[in-house]
Amino acid sequence: MSRAVEESNRAMLRARDAMDRAYAEPLDIPALARIAHVSEAHFIRTFRATFGETPHRYLQRRRVERAMALLVETDRDVTDICYAVGFGSLGTFSRTFRQIVGDSPSDFRRRRVAPANVPSCFTKAWTRPSSFG
């Protein structure tokens, strides 16, 4: 592998780190491509080749993950959480959340029980959306 690939990896990682750090900000492809110092088309293509999903999808997953945490850890209302994690509209948020989590934000929150003092691997195994009916 050439050193150019390593440079490219680090540039893509820098953009991904920016999404992890500043997910609540209105990050768009032009802004992210600037962080990576490449053109927009090159950025989308290279990011996907490097991390296996598009930058848009990565940012959606990051925002939904943060929303899941806020739904469980706080009493803030769903609309408030939607904007707090960087979504621009409640419709997009609800649709994306359901697509990724398999449940609406409110249902997700309702299903949560106060985390008991058990190893989290059990909670994770028993509370994740089932694919087996």
Cβ of residue 99: shortest distance to other proteins, in angstroms?
Answer: 26
- Asked if 14 is part of the footprint of other proteins (rule: CB under 8 A), the reply reads yes
Per-residue three-class SS string for the chain: CCHHHHHHHHHHHHHHHHHHHCCCCCCCHHHHHHHHCCCHHHHHHHHHHHHCCCHHHHHHHHHHHHHHHHHHHCCCCHHHHHHHCCCCCHHHHHHHHHHHHCCCHHHHHHHCCCCCCCCHHHHHHHHCCCCCC
- Binders of other proteins among residues 27 to 56 (CB under 8 A) are 50-51
Q: Give the residue with the Cβ less far from other proteins, 51 or 100.
A: 51
Q: Give the residue with the Cβ less far from other proteins, 57 or 98.
A: 57
- Judged by CB under 8 A, the number of residues near other proteins is 15
Write out the residues near other proteins by the rule CB under 8 A. 1, 5-7, 9-10, 12-14, 16-17, 20-21, 50-51
